[in-house]
Structure 1
């Protein structure tokens, strides 16, 4: 079963953000757009490149009213230690959620059972707490924050323009489509 158009399940966790430990729940994902970005583990190889890419684009996400939440099955203490020792991770200003029990990872169906690690899962969540975009990639395939930003803009556009859809490679300001009988067979 797909998680598209389902509501985020309840959770409570501790995150590391801007030098502090904070509490995060599913309620924090409501009232604004959110990206929940799962990665396998701290102190690894592809993961810091992805998290740094998100950190570099964080202001652009914030301008769109989007909060980023990174999640791994490491603890919030591990996130702090990684933040203190990695130049790439020091750039992060968004919450880094610790999920050592795997509750959140299982809620989003990205747990690698038997390994205790998360798959590379990306979820765009609307202000109602409903999942609008799901992307899961293999261990060795890093994600691109620019492409994620484009997907967020498309999801926001579609949400605010009922009856319109964004075609492939759509970018902000470009033409959208209005599905109708007149378009059948003309694209």
Structure 2
């Protein structure tokens, strides 16, 4: 099933954020842009590089009104232990969601059931709670927060400007396209 333009399914999960355990649900994503960032497991190799990169760019996401939710099938307790023991993970100020019941991984269709882990899945969710971007990477391929920022800016632009689309490599401030019959065969 294609999840593009579908609403985030209901869930309740425990999370770790800024020294506290909190509860999160799909309702926390309504009214703002969100990134749900699945990764296989805490205390691993590629995962801390990705989460650290997101932490380094978190202020830029916040400036755009975007909240980050990192998710693995570990518990919120494991997230706290990792946060307390790793200099790279200590930088994280965004929400680290525990998904030991696999609810979120199943909802977003990234569960590797045989391993009890999630694929490297990135989901950008609009303020109505609908999924606008999906990216799934193989386990050994890390993601780039700068490229994710660019994609979120494009999604926000298209959302705010109906009738316009962002071409390949589009960056904020560059020309967009207004699809019409006049453009066919001229690009």
Q: Give the structure-2-normalised TM-score.
A: 1.00
* 1:33-182 paired onto structure 2 within 5 Å: 33-182=33-182
Instruction: Determine if the alignment matches structure 1 residue 20 to structure 2 residue 20.
Output: yes
TM-superposed deviation, 1:115: 0.8
In structure 2, C-alpha distance between the alignment counterparts of 1:21 and 1:105, rounded to whole Å: 20
Q: In structure 2, how many angstroms separate the alpha carbons of the residues matched to 1:101 and 1:181?
A: 49
Q: What stretches of structure 1 of length at least 5 have no aligned partner?
A: none
**Alpha-carbon distance in 2 for matches of 1:104, 1:184:** 41
Q: Deviations over 1:54-83 (max 9, x none)?
A: 000000000000000000000000000000
After the TM superposition, list the runs of 4 or more consecutive aligned residues in structure 1 that deviate by more than 2 angstroms. none
1: distance between equivalents of 2:106 and 2:71? Answer: 12
Q: 1: CA distance between counterparts of 2:158 and 2:43?
A: 37
Corresponding residue pairs, total: 187
Indicate the SS of the match to 1:150.
Answer: helix
SS, match of residue 68 in structure 2 = strand
Shift of 1:178: 0.3
Q: Note the C-alpha offset of 1:113.
A: 1.0
Quote the Cα distance in structure 1 between the aligned partners of 2:165 and 2:120. 27
Q: Look up the match of 2:2.
A: 2
CA deviation string 1:90-121 (max 9, x = no partner) = 00000000000000110000000111000000
Provide the TM-score with structure 1 as the length reference.
1.00
3-state DSSP of counterpart to 1:69: strand
Give the RMSD, CA atoms, in angstroms. 0.3
Residue 183 (structure 2) aligns with: 183
For residues 96 and 5 of structure 2, the distance between their equivalents in structure 1, rounded to whole angstroms, comes to 25
Q: C-alpha separation between the residues in 2 aligned to 1:82 and 1:113?
A: 23
Rounded to whole Å, the distance in 1 between the matches of 2:101 and 2:5 is 25
